[in-house]
Structure 1
Amino acid sequence: MSLTICLLQAIAFLDLLAVGLIVPLVPSHVRKMGANHIYVGLLGSIYSGFQLGSGPLIGSLSDLKGRKTILIMTLLICGAGYTILGITESIFVILFLRAVLGLFKQTQMLTKALVPDYETNEARQAEIYGKMAAISSAGITLGPVIGGHIVEDHPENGFTFIAAVCGIGFVVNAGLSYFLPKPLTRQKKKSRGNEEQAINLLYTFFSSIKQSFVELYKVEWSIYWDVFLFKALVGFAMGVYYSNYSLYLQSTYNLTPKYVGYVISFQGIIGSVSSFFIGFINSFYKKDEDYSQRNFHVFVLLSMSLLGLILSFNIYIYVIWLVPLAISNAIARLVTLEMVLKRSHGDHRGTLIGASNSVRSLAGVVAPMVSGYIGHYFGVRYVIYASLVSAVIGLSMSCHFRRKRLKID
């Protein structure tokens, strides 16, 4: 493996390590500042909302100005944003910073886009992407543990220190990006003036905002509506669950930030292992050609897990139920995608994948706000009930479609 590819993998790892340090601690920090659960929900919704349209915008900008240049620029902006996050005492400034970070935090996308510039062999590219995903997962797993330890040891200024470390991490990443060599596959230079480029980027900005809705409009819902609904239900259930994850553990089980980090990392490890063995899991479903049985089992496992989490009377039982929850979530991501591709028969595959991502992103926008309102008016302990309701709806629907399929067979 070339030194350049190793450098890209290091950038991807350090990126998620820095994010893992601070993101799980933001809800608790905002609550200490006096914000209610609605503002906590807004933090997630604003970030997801800007992420919804920023991908095509940053991608287009990287095509025009160079992926390396845009990667360095976004890393420096994110570094400044996360640093200010630990200094400011204004909730509104934090909300604004979450919008800025949602717009520019596209490091993982840019590093993946850079791979073909340095490796032209498609088989090798797939191998690189797999290793990059595994290395990145290690970063997001380690981050919460380290951040939790620091905040617990330094409760007064620990968050500020972590924000500074996170900012430094992004600056270091920008420095590593600077040493990336010129790409082996050069882009064709486009003879267009600065004014035309500006117009193109402005058009891309507005078009990217509505792109997700356009993709959803293109879908032939008579064929795919059930699959996208399943994806939305899983995305909403997990989105609501993760929105108040840290606050739930602290208020229900009195966990310190250190142990919250351990729980988050444990669930991340289970999810990564489940994704790694997805081929082995699929070997048990050789006759499940339409994925209806797998989809039904996903919702069974998801519903049982969420019910088990609600009924858990101590943290040890809670952690046990996290295992099937992480497994069902990992399998669900693949099953819904495979169901879409199975029905497409090769037609409009790109549109369907784009629509699938839009469904997930829209669920990421709605879920934090729902959890915020529930947490504010009923209490953070009741947020997980919304996840359970979504999972049970999916279970009943998947059971219906499973029975319908068996009757046809």
Structure 2
Amino acid sequence: MSLRVYLLQLVAFLDLLAVGLIVPLLPNHVRQMGGNHIYVGLLGSIYSGCQLGSGPLIGSLSDIKGRRTILMMTLLVCAGAYTFLGITTSIAVILVLRAILGLFKQTQMLTKALVPDYESNHLKQSVIYGKMAAISGIGITMGPVIGGHIAEDNPEHGFLYISLIVGLCFLINAGIVHFLPKTSKKSTIMDVNCEEKTRQDESVLYKIMNSSKQSVIELSKIPWAEYWDVFFLKALISFSMAVYFSNYSLYLKTVYELSPKYIGYVISFKGVIASLSSFFIGYINKFYSYDNDYTVRNLHMFILVGASLTGMILATSVYCYVACLIPLAIGSAVGRLVSLEMILIRSKGKNRGTLIGATHSVTSLSGVIAPMVAGFIGEYFGVSYGLYASLLSSLLGIALSYQYKKSKIE
């Protein structure tokens, strides 16, 4: 692999390291500020709601304006937003900052879209995606442990220190992206070279409106009916995981009375399993050489997740709970990569950024609903009942995956 790909992997690693530092601590931070479970749910819903609209827009803008430029811009905005997240003492301001982060935090999507710009071999791209997910998994594994220790050792100002570290990580990422070679821009809507001179005198507002118009045109050209099955199954697994992750830190604290440090260890254990699963995705795919349409892999992924959630509901100790994380981590990690590969194969390289952005928006759509569902359940029924909503979604995924697989055979 070239140095450019290694730098992209470093960006993906620092991105999830930073996220792992601060996101697991955010629900408890809001609770300490006086917020209830509904406010905790709003944190996730607002973020995902903003990502729902920004995913395809930023993906399409990256196709038009250049992925490197858009990625660097979003990293700088996120650096400022995460820094102020620790400075503010208002829940309302935190909600606004989460909205800003939802609009601009598209690092993983943009780094994945950049890979084919630096590596044209399709077979190597699949390996790079797997290794990138594995390296990113290391970041999301280390983050909760480091963040948990900082929060526990500095009970008064720990969250502030973490937010400053996270802001610095995003600034470093912006610097790394700045030194990446420029990539070519798409010109499917108009001749970019002919328009470049006239745009120099245009206002910033006009440029934004014109770019948005081009993005909408790009989105309208996608044959969405060809991808409905991927998007729907993606929505089910995303909802299941989003409900689980909305309450997992509060669940561990409430049910098993774990401290932030040990919660970080549990989260990191899951991250290790997910990282290993992503790293060995090529080896796992060898067992499915006959599964050209990915229906079998989707079915097995939903079965793993459903079995894991059932075990968590029935767990009598934290050790049983942690053991059940293993199939959950494997199933969710493999599911993310399978849906991405399915999109890339079907698209045949066309509108790659737009389609990947739309895939992220499906995740975000589930993420809008799931945190509010988890917050409502936590407020009126108890945090432990959130797992039942996750299980219901995975069971529906099993039924639909099996039916779809059966229809393909017939």
1:125 and 1:284 map into 2 onto residues whose CA distance is: 19
Q: Per the alignment, do residues 311 and 255 of structure 1 end up closer, same or farther by CA in structure 2, a change over 3 Å counting?
A: same
Query: Which consecutive residues of structure 1, in runs of 5 or more, have no partner in the other structure?
Result: none
Show the counterpart of 1:90: 90
RMSD value, Cα: 3.6
- Conserved? CA contact 1:215–1:352, under 8 Å: no
Q: Following TM superposition, by how much is the alpha carbon of 1:302 offset from its aligned partner in structure 2, in angstroms?
A: 1.8
Q: Deviations over 1:23-57 (max 9, x none)?
A: 11111111111111111111111111222222444
Pick which of 55-64 and 317-326 moved more: 55-64
Match of residue 18 from structure 1: 18
Who is 2:189 aligned against? none
Change over 3 Å in CA distance of 1:297–1:92 after alignment to 2: same
For 2:165, the equivalent position in structure 1 comes to 165
Which residue of structure 2 aligns with residue 277 of structure 1?
A: 280
* Residue number among 295, 319, 332 corresponding to 2:322 in the alignment: 319
Asked if structure 2 preserves the Cα contact closer than 8 Å seen for 1:234 and 1:391, the reply is yes
What does the per-residue CA deviation read over 1:200-257, in whole Å, with 9 as the maximum and x for residues that have no partner?
A: 4225447869998x689x533xx76555433322111111111111111111111111
1:355 to partner: Cα distance: 5.3
- For the 8 Å contact 2:130–2:278, the answer to whether it is kept is no
Q: Displacement of 1:14 after TM fit?
A: 2.2
Answer yes or no: is the 8 Å Cα contact 1:219–1:355 preserved in 2. no
| Alpha-carbon distance in 1 for matches of 2:396, 2:216 | 30
Q: For residue 235 of structure 1, what is the aligned residue in structure 2?
A: 238
Name the residue aligned to 1:183: 182
Contact 1:60 1:201 in 2 (8 A): no
TM-score norm. by structure 2 comes to: 0.83
**One-letter amino acid of the counterpart of residue 201, structure 1:** I
Cα separation, 1, equivalents of 2:28 and 2:255? 14
Q: Letter of the aligned partner of 1:164 in structure 2?
A: L
Q: Residues 1-400 of structure 1 correspond to what in structure 2 (within 5 A)?
A: 5-58=5-58, 70-112=70-112, 119=118, 122=121, 126=125, 130-178=130-178, 180=179, 183=182, 189=193, 190-193=196-199, 194-195=201-202, 198-205=205-212, 218-220=223-225, 227-288=230-291, 290-336=293-339, 356-400=359-403
CA deviation after TM superposition for structure 1 residue 73, in Å: 3.8
Aligned partners of 2:286, 2:88: CA distance in 1, in Å? Answer: 52
Quick one: distance in 1 between partners of 2:256 and 2:6? 41
Paired letter, 2:136 = S
Alpha-carbon distance in 1 for matches of 2:227, 2:106? 29
Unaligned 5+ segments in structure 2 are 187-191
Contact 2:41–2:373 under 8 Å retained in 1: yes
- Shift in Å at residue 115 of structure 1? 5.5
Residues 234/115 of structure 1: CA separation in 2 closer, same or farther (3 Å cut): closer
- Whether contact under 8 Å (1:115, 1:125) holds in the other structure is no
The Cα shift of 1:261 comes to 1.0
**CA distance in structure 2 between the aligned counterparts of 1:91 and 1:206, rounded to whole angstroms:** 35
**Which stretch has the larger CA shift, 20-29 or 188-197?**
188-197
Q: Which whole-Å CA distance do the structure 1 matches of 2:44 and 2:98 have between them?
A: 8
Q: Quick check: 2:47–2:98 contact (8 Å CA) kept in 1? A: yes
* Kept after mapping to 1: 8 A contact 2:238/2:367: yes
Q: Aligned partners of 1:328 and 1:355: how far apart in 2? A: 22
> Normalising to structure 1: TM-score of the pair?
0.83
Q: Counterpart of 1:147 in 2: which secondary structure?
A: helix
Three-state SS of the structure 2 residue aligned to 1:34 is: coil
